A = this chain, B = another copy of it.
Amino acid sequence: MITSPANARVKAAAALHNRSERERSGLFLIEGHREIDRAFQAGIIIEHLFILEGVEKPAWTVAGMAELVLGPVAFAKIAYGRDGVVAVARRPTFDLESFNPAAPQLVLVTESIEKPGNLGAMLRSAAATGAALLVADAATDMTNPNVVRASLGALFIVPVAQTTSAEAKSWLHKHDIVVAAAVVHDGVPPWSLDLTGPIALVIGSEHIGLSSTWLETAVSRIQIPMVGAVDSLNAATAAAILLFEAIRQRSAGR
């Protein structure tokens, strides 16, 4: 058992909270039983596992997977939550070449979203609706531990690509996926559009909205009608409303 937070493996794992170290090493952290299980099922390569002293060893660990038991002080250097298990895993690339949403494509595109919690929540909604996620111009890396955690492991279920807005746009064009931009004025309600065909729903950041790249490309402008005295919805909430409206239309068509 490792008790010292100064242990080299503990320090190396803790350093993966920083993006630069994740990029340098090609590794990232996955915390929690469900999250690690989903990553493992998705073919993510687990390098080793840290288990908090006294916590039961996960049932799904495979032969040859290195496991290190940590004392509470050392474990707290790596973990945020209370699950008592953290994996060090090889970082997926999330490249556009291997992005392959199921037809008829339902793609959530996010532009310049920064908050890991919002990206995590969008991943949960995408997983619940069978949608894919195209992350454009994000300042946040999808292997950020807070994205992984907030997604409850949906990161490993949803087809995800991370790229620029320009490349995302040409990818969608090449695959004949219609672009609909979420706007806060001069748009039509989501239920007035046909969302049953291949469609990309594009959501901008809460602060600046969508860039002209997307506003000029969009075939439709979707505006979620606000009845009350508020100006905006949280970006992840808006994404969920649009994705489930697509599901409503698609299930009605069956």
Partner-B contacts on A (CB < 8 A): 121, 124-131, 152, 154, 157-158, 189, 191, 224-230, 233-234, 236-237, 240-241, 244-245, 247-248, 251-252
Across-interface contacts of A248 in B (CB, < 8 A) = 189, 191, 245
Rounded to whole Å, the gap between the CB of A18 and the closest CB of chain B is 23
A157's contact among B157, B229, B236, by CB below 8 Å, is which?
A: B229
CA distance A23 to B112 in the complex (A): 41
This protein's copies in its complex: 2
CA distance A126 to B152 in the complex (A): 25
The residue in A152, A154, A229 that gathers the most chain B C-beta atoms within 10 A of its C-beta is: A229
Give the interface SS of chain A, mostly helix, strand, loop or mixed: helix
CA distance A248 to B190 in the complex (A): 9
The answer to whether A121 and B230 touch (CB under 8 A), given A245-B248, A251-B225, is no
The residue in A121, A228, A252 that gathers the most chain B C-beta atoms within 10 A of its C-beta is: A228
- B228 and A129 contacting across the interface, CB-CB below 8 Å: yes
- A230 and B127 contacting across the interface, CB-CB below 8 Å: yes
Task: Tell me the nearest residue of chain B to A41, going by C-beta.
Answer: B229
- B226 and A128 contacting across the interface, CB-CB below 8 Å: yes
> 4 closest Cβ contacts across the A-B interface?
A130-B227, A127-B230, A130-B228, A127-B228
Rounded to whole Å, the gap between the CB of A245 and the closest CB of chain B is 7
Task: Tell me the nearest residue of chain B to A125, going by C-beta.
Answer: B237
Provide a sorted-by-A list of 13 A–B residue pairs whose CB atoms are within 8 angstroms.
Answer: A124-B230, A124-B234, A125-B237, A127-B228, A128-B224, A128-B226, A129-B227, A130-B228, A131-B228, A191-B252, A225-B251, A236-B237, A245-B248
